[in-house]
Amino acid sequence: MTTPEATIVCPVVGTLVSSTDVWFRQEDTDRLADTFGEAVFTSKGSEELEARRAFLCADAAVRLFLPLLLGAAAIEDRADLINTLRELPALLCARACRETDRVLRLVAQAERRQRALVVAKQDGEQALPLALLSVLGKAIVCSRSAYVVAATSFEPADAAMEVQHVTAGVLWANDETIYRPLVDTTFGLLREMLALSKEPAT
Amino acid sequence: MSDTYEPVALNACPVIHAFAFGSLLWMKDTDVDRVAFYNDIADEVTDSAKEDFVVTADIGLARGYHAIDAMFRTFVAIPLTWHGSQWWLGESASPIDSRPRLLNEMSQAERLAEHLRRHGPDLWPLANVLERAYGASNELVRGYPERAAAGLSLVVGLIAKRSSRALLRALTLESIDLVRALRAIETP
């Protein structure tokens, strides 16, 4: 739709904020508007800026949201996996994403084996383990989408969409106790995205 | 990107996956039915792990049209009915299964959204729903059915946010039906 806002909102920022409309409670939606309102509506910049914001999304999905998910699931001890993810280098360039992607696939393989064992033990209660594994896959897609934006049909906003999907998985795993950390992490991600200069990086 | 890139650990139809994950954002409050919803998604994920699992572009596009058709004629119809905008629903009686039909529906949504905007803040939430519906449709026009499905999940989420518990359950059941219908589409 051709509205005045549509032409000046960065698609990466806009995609992230759109999903908060759905899952934020009203007081947090209001707080987001109070905190970032004008900056959101004038956030559009260059394609290079959009790509940098996409990398921020990938970084948040893998190193912030995914550990939240693993911590919230609490099926069994995942401290090693959480630490592995948090200690990864920041995913702020294509090379970092590519290297990290290999690590994530190894983590996914380990998770898959674990999930198979859990499913075997908990016959009929397979939804949560499969959800965990699917969300892990989404985080991998997020990291991938960030570094292929220039080479494929992916657009930078796709990275923000994958963040939305990872967030959904975290909410699924634990509705209440994880809500506040999720909101805070989303605010932090948005703050970082808007703080990026509209000028090309040097 | 290297052409030797390996698929992610789990794959599935991108259209179904996009709708499913977006839906989990708002389904958290409907405790029982969302399990049934996710079990269907789990079946999709299990099927997609089979060696012969293929989602062609034609199937993806057909699923995208089916999802957008459900968006206008099932999901968006709910808040429009509250508002009494039957004039548009009447024109939406036939399936949205082609590009001209979709463009016509988008035009209707755009006009109604602009109409609602002019009536003040009380109707802005409904205008938001219509604008998101336009945005989701536009992704399909551009050839991205998975983005359209993700957009649809946000449309339903916006409706769910202002719904009663009973309506939340209805939205969940409609979502279950939609996923099953999408999975049943194997040839366009």
Q: pLDDT by residue (tens digit) across B25-69?
A: 888 655 666 777 777 776 776 666 566 667 788 899 999 999 999
Mean pLDDT for all residues in chain B? 80
pLDDT reading at A35 higher than 60: yes
In angstroms, rounded to a whole number, what is the distance separating the alpha carbons of residues B39 and B103? 34
Contact B21, A138 (CB under 8 A): yes
Write the burial class of residue B184 (CB in 10 Å: 0-12 exposed, 13-18 middle, 19+ buried).
exposed
| Interval A186-197: pLDDT, tens | 999 999 999 997
Residues in B touching A81 (Cβ below 8 Å): none
Across A132-136, A183-187, B96-100, B175-179, least confident range: A132-136
> For position B7, what pLDDT does the model report?
36
pLDDT reading at B137 higher than 80: yes
The letter for the amino acid at A150 is A
More confident residue, A197 or B3: A197
The pair of three-digit structure tokens given for residue A139, joined into one six-digit string: 């985080």
pLDDT reading at B177 higher than 60: yes
- Closest partner CB to B22 (pick from A147, A148, A165): A165
pLDDT reading at B98 higher than 70: yes
Residues in B touching A161 (Cβ below 8 Å): 18, 147, 150
Contact across the interface for A141 and B25, Cβ inside 8 Å: no
Contact across the interface for A105 and B9, Cβ inside 8 Å: yes
How many CB pairs below 8 A link A and B? Answer: 109
Contact across the interface for A19 and B154, Cβ inside 8 Å: yes
Contact across the interface for A171 and B28, Cβ inside 8 Å: yes
Task: Pick the closest to residue A143 from B9, B151, B179, B58 (CA basis).
Answer: B9
Residues in A touching B12 (Cβ below 8 Å): 134
| A116 interface with B at CB cutoff 8 Å | no
Write the burial class of residue A90 (CB in 10 Å: 0-12 exposed, 13-18 middle, 19+ buried).
middle
Provide the shortest C-alpha distance from residue B28 to chain A (in Å). Answer: 6
How much is the average pLDDT of A85-97? Answer: 78
Residues in A touching B135 (Cβ below 8 Å): 1
Phi, psi (5° rounding) for residue B61?
A: -70, -40
Give residues with Cβ within 8 angstroms of B146, minimum separation 6. B14, B15, B17, B18, B60, B64
More confident residue, B182 or A118: B182
Q: Place B140 in a pLDDT band, splitting at 50, 70 and 90.
A: very high
Write down the H helix ranges in chain A.
Answer: 11-23, 26-41, 47-60, 66-73, 79-86, 94-121, 127-147, 156-173, 179-195
- Closest partner CB to B9 (pick from A19, A137, A147): A137
How much is the average pLDDT of A60-67? Answer: 82
Among chain A residues, CA nearest to B24? A168
> For position A167, what pLDDT does the model report?
81
| B132 interface with A at CB cutoff 8 Å | yes
Mutate to test the interface with B, among A101, A113, A152, A164 (most CBs of B within 10 A): A164
In angstroms, rounded to a whole number, what is the distance separating the alpha carbons of residues B163 and B79? 9
Contact across the interface for B131 and A1, Cβ inside 8 Å: yes
The letter for the amino acid at B173 is L
What was the ipTM of the complex prediction?
0.78
Task: Pick the closest to residue B64 from B108, B130, B17 (CA basis).
Answer: B17
User: Exposure string (b/e) for B35-60, b if CB count within 10 Å is 16 or more?
Assistant: eebbebbbebbeebeeeeeebeeebb
Task: Pick the closest to residue B45 from B179, B153, B173 (CA basis).
Answer: B179
How much is the average pLDDT of A71-96? Answer: 72
The pair of three-digit structure tokens given for residue A43, joined into one six-digit string: 């956030």
Q: Place A1 in a pLDDT band, splitting at 50, 70 and 90.
A: very low
> For position A29, what pLDDT does the model report?
92
Supply the pTM of this predicted model: 0.80
> For position B54, what pLDDT does the model report?
72
More confident residue, B136 or A156: B136
pLDDT reading at B77 higher than 60: yes
More confident residue, B184 or B165: B184
Contact A94, A58 (CB under 8 A): no
Contact across the interface for B45 and A130, Cβ inside 8 Å: yes
Query: Residues of A numbered 28-87 whose beta carbons fall under 8 angstroms of chain B's beta carbons: which are they?
Result: none
- Closest partner CB to A161 (pick from B29, B131, B150): B150
| Interval A173-182: pLDDT, tens | 666 778 899 9
Contact across the interface for A21 and B158, Cβ inside 8 Å: yes
How much is the average pLDDT of B90-104? Answer: 81
What's B8's DSSP letter?
Answer: P
In angstroms, rounded to a whole number, what is the distance separating the alpha carbons of residues A118 and A104? 20
Give residues with Cβ within 8 angstroms of A19, minimum separation 6. A160, A161, A163, A164, A167, B22, B25, B154
| Interval A107-149: pLDDT, tens | 666 666 555 555 554 555 544 555 555 555 555 555 555 544 4
| Interval A48-59: pLDDT, tens | 898 889 888 888
